[in-house]
Amino acid sequence: MRRIKAAQFIRLMSNMGLNQVQESWKIVSLTGFRSAMSQMPAIRDMSRAVATGKLSKDKLLTELGDMTGIGMENLWNRYDLRLDDERLGAETGGRFTQVVDNVLDAGQRLTANVSFMRQISDYQQRWAMKAITQQVADMARKARTEGQFDFSKIKERDRQRLASIGLGEDDARKLFANILEHSEFDGKKIVGINTMKWDAETLSKYRVFLTRYTDRLVQQNDFGALSKWMSRPVFSLFVQFRSFVFGAWAKSTLWTLNHGALNDPKMWVLMLGEIAAGAATYAVRQSGTAATEEGWERYWEEAMQPGNLLKNGWARSATASVLPMFLDSLLMATPMGPQFGQARASGSATETFIGSPAVGQIDSAMAFSRGMSGALWDDEDVTQRDIRAGIRAFMPLGNWVPITAALGALIEDMPR
């Protein structure tokens, strides 16, 4: 099962970086525009850091990275995937299975790099840590009054959101005192926190808080957050690439509803921004179909229709989580049919039960087989749909936008 899932990852996840980009809006909207923009890491420095694992050019980022270990996934997964959770306790196997594992590992690393998934995730996590630290420092300055901290000066909704991540008023007082006393500032911008000077207990609590907050802004599923049955090998095939949306139900959907989705302007900005970012990444994802004259017209008439952009933009947001999947499952039994079929980065169907990547590969392979057999035995024309089904079923990186664009140009003259 592990090898089947690895093959699906190589086949379908070459566009995952697009979905990852839109999570940047959550960093900006929840930490505040000023905090996020002042702490945005330089692209050139971050590219060098991703390649080398060294963060020496940014003292604050170095301290936060050393304290939490966050933002180093690309470095940890560069050479060896044998410490993956699913391999712990597994038998070594023979020479053939080792070769298969090595090929799949190389394919997964290639897919992750081609999609920029890990690079973007690492960048966002490091940015989130810095923005959170800036936000906390700004709150501390705002609440400070004659050597003490008056929390009535901080908005109630902001206090509630911090408390939901584990920072109550007593811990916040200690954190505020340490961050203002020991940190280095360039004007109002925090440039270092000098962790060696902090109270050990407060520093430990801040590490936990920072990890939780970062994992909410750049979503990482917590251990034990998903149902136990989802970890079973067979069932895990059906939820592959969906663990994010199942985790987002609690981390994004319910959390947003509980923290002002209906009456807090900050949450409105978050949700509207997520829809706009989702619509933008959806438009980029569908641009591969616009390589031909016919595809260009269809792209603007169908994909770029405002209603289509709106529904797929919402479906790609973290706040939507599992809702599009269950809605499509219900709509399958109506004349409307599924409405969010292009929302997933993998291109798989969104329905609950038949949206499994493995099932999708079987369906594509059967469609390709029917088309080829009809061409060989009944002298039927091979269609664009047949070729696309074959590419989708058997070609690694087959749904990568540059490949879909090139394929569209190559098969333009074939019947649809």
Q: What is the pLDDT of residues 245-258, one digit of tens each?
A: 888 888 889 999 98
Q: By the 8 A CB rule, do 136 and 175 touch?
A: yes
Same domain, 266 and 194: no
Q: What is the DSSP string of 30-90?
A: HH-HHHHHHTPPPHHHHHHHHHH---TT-HHHHHHHHHH-TT-HHHHTSS--TTSGGGTT-
Q: Which of 220, 249, 277 is the last residue of a domain?
A: 220
Number of domains present in the structure of the chain: 2
Whether residue 190 is contained in a domain is answered as: yes
Mean predicted confidence (pLDDT) in 313-333: 85
Same domain, 375 and 283: yes
Whether residue 225 is contained in a domain is answered as: no
pTM, full prediction: 0.84
C-alpha distances (whole Å) from 197 to each of 16, 62, 194, 232 are 40, 16, 6, 46
Whether residue 7 is contained in a domain is answered as: yes
Q: What is the pLDDT of residues 119-169, one digit of tens each?
A: 888 889 999 999 999 999 999 999 998 878 988 899 888 888 889 888 888
**Identity of residue 238:** F
Whether residue 330 is contained in a domain is answered as: yes
Same domain, 169 and 42: yes
pLDDT above 80 (res 66): yes
Whether residue 235 is contained in a domain is answered as: no
Where residue 275 falls among pLDDT bands split at 50, 70, 90? very high
Same domain, 346 and 401: yes
Backbone angles phi, psi at 192, to 5 degrees: -175, 145
Domain extent at residue 129: 2-220
Q: Which of 167, 109, 111 is nearest to 139 (CA)?
A: 167
Lowest mean pLDDT among 107-121, 168-182, 197-211, 223-237: 223-237
Length of the chain: 416
